[in-house]
Amino acid sequence: LKSTEGGHMYPIVAGVPRFVSASLYDAQEYLTKHADALQAENFAVQELQAQYAGLKKNTNKYFGWEWQEFKRWGWQDAVEELDDKTDSAHAGTMDKTNQAFYRKGMFAEGELQGKTIFDGGSGNGRYCYQAHLAGARVLGMDLGEGSVLAAQENCREFPGVQIFQADLHNPPVKAGA
């Protein structure tokens, strides 16, 4: 992706637009594959490779790990499908996710139909999916690479759901949008 203002370029890696430093996702394959095109655009490939070589931030590391470890949390159809990491009182089933979505969001049935919903900190995409079922177009954003990869995997078949990686404190939108 290339912005119309300022000419910034943002890679799409593993099907997820990345609006964060390359140190927060596995950019090596992307940088290698597109090196010539990036150089032609004066994209700072060396700088990104240096950033990638550094340590990833703790937020990305731990939340990314968590959502990879529990990528199907909230997606199971029945308690029987859960492993020993869960229990029925906190079951990550679809019906519990649906109940939590409406309770936490305080949405009325039909209220989201035709709306665009932004899910900041989308985790594994379970609430993106619930908003999609409610008829909304959904933009799901998370900082963690593992989070966006889990959400992308869980939501890829839903055309009204777009997952992207970005920082909630510096979202890739125009001021006032």
Average pLDDT on 90-118 reads 85
Task: State both tokens at 153.
Answer: 């995997």
CATH number of 1-177: 3.40.50
- 24 with 145: CB under 8 angstroms? yes
**Domain positions in the chain:** 1-177
Residue 104: band (very low, low, confident or very high) from pLDDT cuts 50, 70, 90: confident
Looking at residue 59, what is its pLDDT? 61
Q: Which pTM was predicted?
A: 0.68
pLDDT tens sequence across 131-159: 999 999 999 999 888 899 999 999 999 99
- 88 with 79: CB under 8 angstroms? yes
- 124 with 73: CB under 8 angstroms? yes
